Amino acid sequence: MTTTPARPICPRPLRLGVTGGIGSGKSTFAAMLRDCGAALIDADAIARAVTEAGGPAIADIRDTFGADYIDAQGALDRVRMRALVFADAGAKERLEAIVHPLVGNAIAQAAAVAAQAGQRLIVFDIPLLTESPRWARQLDAVLVVDCREESQVARVQARNGLTEDAIRAIMATQSSRAVRRAAADFVVYNDALTLSDLQTKARQVAAGFGL
Ligand SMILES: CC(C)(COP(=O)(O)OP(=O)(O)OC[C@H]1O[C@@H](n2cnc3c(N)ncnc32)[C@H](O)[C@@H]1O)[C@@H](O)C(=O)NCCC(=O)NCCS
Ligand SMILES: Nc1ncnc2c1ncn2[C@@H]1O[C@H](COP(=O)(O)OP(=O)(O)OP(=O)(O)O)[C@@H](O)[C@H]1O
């Protein structure tokens, strides 16, 4: 006798972490994979959402850092907090202890929704993948977007006008390129590439994952 399952059995989606240092181009590359048909879960975007006015991190941030770190609209004052945490490792740890569990829960929920929707590839855009063991646990593979530090600095300066010193202070808190590459299953070297070249690479990677 044969039995028919009540629901079709869907294969589990492949979970690909995409990471890279500030300004490496990881969010650009992750968005290109989304355009090829992957589901995209963006940890930076979730971290911003939980620190918006009324967000679940705001009360703890006010209690821990004081009302000076909350702006007139009730959101995290990002400029003030950036200046604090990238100069004070203890403050960065305290901020992460508030924000990361909320981001972790939201990522798990978003991944469950994407899996339920039958997505074959879920891309997790996670800046701090190699800095903390928290993020890698549920991933099948890690793709690192790598480039020279000079390129990171130039891109971030062009994007938001931070000084080179400020950008290098952020980079100093992040994993080195060597540590990141050592954790990679795949490396995309994003230097001397046009955005169109990067898109071609994204299409190749997506095709390799069956999209
Ligand atoms: C310090 C904050 C307020 C600065 O905000 P800002 O708008 O300038 O930057 P944004 O959030 O867009 O992040 C830009 C990039 O900075 C780097 N960065 C952000 N947080 C961290 C961190 N905790 N450690 C090292 N680098 C970081 C990453 O490369 C990230 O992609 C903000 O980054 C923050 O709240 N960080 C703590 C939460 C966090 O760790 N987010 C990372 C994803 S979970
Ligand atoms: N190959 C490229 N050619 C031209 N511009 C690029 C290239 N790669 C990335 N960029 C640009 O560099 C900037 C940084 O890229 P992106 O935001 O993807 O970096 P990121 O690694 O996600 O940085 P962050 O950690 O700050 O979020 C963006 O303005 C993006 O358009």
* pLDDT at residue number 143: 98
Q: How many domains does the chain have?
A: 2
Write the pLDDT tens digit of every residue in 8-56: 555 789 999 999 999 999 999 999 999 999 999 999 999 999 999 999 9
Does 81 contact ligand 1 (Cβ within 6 A)?
Answer: yes
Question: Which of 166, 158, 124, 116 is CA-nearest to residue 142?
Answer: 124
Q: Is 201 annotated as a binding residue?
A: no
Does 24 contact ligand 2 (Cβ within 6 A)?
Answer: yes
Residues 66 and 28 occupy one common structural domain = no
**Residue 1 confidence class, pLDDT cut points 50, 70, 90:** very low
Structure tokens belonging to residue 109: 């929920």
Residues 206 and 136 occupy one common structural domain = yes
Residue ranges of alpha helices (H) inside the chain are 26-35, 43-50, 58-65, 78-85, 89-116, 149-160, 164-173, 177-182, 195-208
Whose CA is closest to atom 42 on ligand 1?
44
Residues 133 and 34 occupy one common structural domain = yes
Percent over 70 (pLDDT), the chain:
95
Residues 65 and 166 occupy one common structural domain = no
d(CA 12, CA 93): 34
- Ligand of minimum distance to the alpha carbon of 27: 2
Domain with 198 in it: what CATH number?
Answer: 3.40.50.300
Residue 108 belongs to a domain:
no
Write the pLDDT tens digit of every residue in 122-167: 999 999 999 998 898 889 999 999 999 999 999 999 998 899 999 9
d(CA 123, CA 149): 24
Residue 5 belongs to a domain:
no
d(CA 55, CA 98): 12
Residues 132 and 87 occupy one common structural domain = no
- Ligand of minimum distance to the alpha carbon of 76: 1
Residues 60 and 31 occupy one common structural domain = no
- Say whether 43 sits in a helix, a strand or coil: helix
Residues 124 and 97 occupy one common structural domain = no
Residues 127 and 25 occupy one common structural domain = yes
| pLDDT of 93 above 90 | yes
Higher-scoring residue by pLDDT: 1, 44: 44
10's CB contacts (< 8 A; 6+ apart) are: 115, 118
Residues 33 and 49 occupy one common structural domain = no
Residue 6 belongs to a domain:
no
Does 142 contact ligand 1 (Cβ within 6 A)?
Answer: no
Indicate the range of 21-30, 57-66, 83-92, 129-138 predicted with least confidence: 129-138
Q: How far is the CA of 26 from the centre of ligand 2 (A)?
A: 7
Q: How far is the CA of 1 from the centre of ligand 2 (A)?
A: 57
Does 147 contact ligand 2 (Cβ within 6 A)?
Answer: no
| pLDDT of 6 above 90 | no
Which of 77, 102, 127 terminates a domain? The answer is: 102
Whose CA is closest to atom 15 on ligand 1?
22
d(CA 106, CA 127): 16
pTM listed for this prediction: 0.95
Residues 32 and 93 occupy one common structural domain = no
Q: Is 176 annotated as a binding residue?
A: no
In which domain, by residue range, is 79 found?
44-102
